Each structure stands twice: as C-alpha cells, then as structure tokens.
Structure 1
Amino acid sequence: MKKFIVTGALHGLLAVAFGAFGAHALKEVLDDYSQGIWETAVQYQMFHATGLLVIGLLMSWKLLGEVKQLNIAGIFFNLGIVFFSGSLYVLAISGIKVLGAITPIGGVLFLAGWVLIIVAALKHAR
C-alpha cells in the first residue's frame, strides 16, 4: 500500500541523513563503541526501510492478493525501526545504558514482520 512505500522512503531518507550525520557531525563526539551502535541503527533502519518498500509494492501490485499479514508486517517494521534504531540512536548519543533494554522490543517486531511476510507468501502459494 501507498503508506508503506511512503514510510519506507521516509525511513530510507532518514537512514541516509543519520548515516551522514553520524559519520561527519558526530565523528569527534562519539567514541568507537558509540559509533558502532550508531552504525548498527542506521543499517537496520535502511534494511527495514527497504522491506517496507517491498511490502508496499507487493500490496500495490496485489502479488500476494489482499493479505492482512503484509499490513501487519509493515506496521511491525515501522514500529521496529522506532524501537530498535531509535533506542540505539539515543543510546549512542546519551550513553544511557538502560535504553538498551528497549532495543530488543524492536528486534522482536522485526522478526515478527519477517515471519508474517513468509506466512503471506506461503498462504498465497496454496
């Protein structure tokens, strides 16, 4: 659906912007450990931005029919980006370690989203 194409493109745009910001503006601010955390956040945001684009295209082209699993997967990817990458961005800048406890929520949302895409594809194959 259009909403996942738009949010995927927006997350992709932000991932590129955050990646450049981290590499240049934060170069002297972040230590190596925090820089690694920032880069992980950017990578996962971009991976799942691409996933959102794919979900949106699959839904738009009705390649898997009208599958509610794809809609839920898209919601999970959007929330996963906020929880996973968002918590890592804040952790990298602030150093507040307790924020690391939020990150796995995003990871579980990512995993659930991928499982739902598999379910949608298998459901359509029948």
Structure 2
Amino acid sequence: MKNKWLVIAALSGFFCIAFGAFAAHELEKSLTAKALAWIDTGLKYQFFHTVALMVLAVLQLHLKAETDRVINGIGLTWSFGILLFSGSLYALALGAAKSVAWLTPIGGTLFLMGWAMLAYRSYKNKS
C-alpha cells in the first residue's frame, strides 16, 4: 500500500457521504431527533478527521516519511478515534446497548492524542 492514510481517508470519506445520505433520506423517517443528532455529530467528527488524514497523507509524502513513527501514530490515533467516537454514536443511534457509550470518550481522547502528537512532530521537525 503506497500511502495507507490516503486509502483510509478515501474509504472514510466514502462512508461519510454514503451513510450521511442514507441517514438523511431513509433513517430520518424512523429515528428520533436525538438519534439523528448523534449521527450528525459522528459524521462531523468523522469528516473533519478524514480531511485531517488526507492532509497527513500529503505531509507524509512531502516529508518522505513513510516510516515516521509519530506520523504513523497520528494516523492510527485518528483512525481509531473515528472508529470509536463516530462508530459508537452511529451504533447508539441505531439502537445498540447504552454500554456502547463508554467508547465515545475513548475515541475523543484518541482524537486529542493525535492532535497533540501532530503538535509535537511539528515542534520537533528539523526542516
């Protein structure tokens, strides 16, 4: 895989558009306003971090840093943040057990960790 973060960003972006359209046209008929708000919040955070992953992929290519552990760590934390934060909100909206809610703050923490790692990597950048 040439640039895994670009592939993940592309798949995540595809999902955002497909699930967002499905929610707007089909789920709107059967879900509560609260459930739709959870989906909306999940989609916003997922799309924002999808764009961030695309920028990370370009940064990695620009720096020729395919093996940079910090950049790869950022990509991992954001990717798992999307899965846990947005995924738990989607699951809750679609009727999953309320115990799934404990995944949401873990995903949010992963988002924060990724941003902190980006700040660290930017500060330590020699070029």
The bucket for the TM-score relative to the shorter chain is: over 0.9
SS in 1 for 2:94: helix
Partner residue in 2 for 1:124: 125
Partner residue in 1 for 2:45: 44
Structure 2 length-normalised TM: 0.91
1:41, 1:84 within 8 Å by CA — same for their partners in 2?
A: yes
Structure 1 length-normalised TM: 0.92
Q: Calculate percent identity across the aligned residue pairs.
A: 37
1:84, 1:106 within 8 Å by CA — same for their partners in 2?
A: yes
Q: Deviations over 1:23-70 (max 9, x none)?
A: 111011111111000101111110111111111110011178964211
Gaps of 5+ in 2: none
SS in 2 for 1:94: coil
SS in 1 for 2:31: coil
Partner residue in 2 for 1:9: 10
Provide the rounded CA distance (Å) in 2 between the counterparts of 1:114 and 1:9.
20
Q: CA deviation at 1:100?
A: 1.1
Partner residue in 1 for 2:111: 110
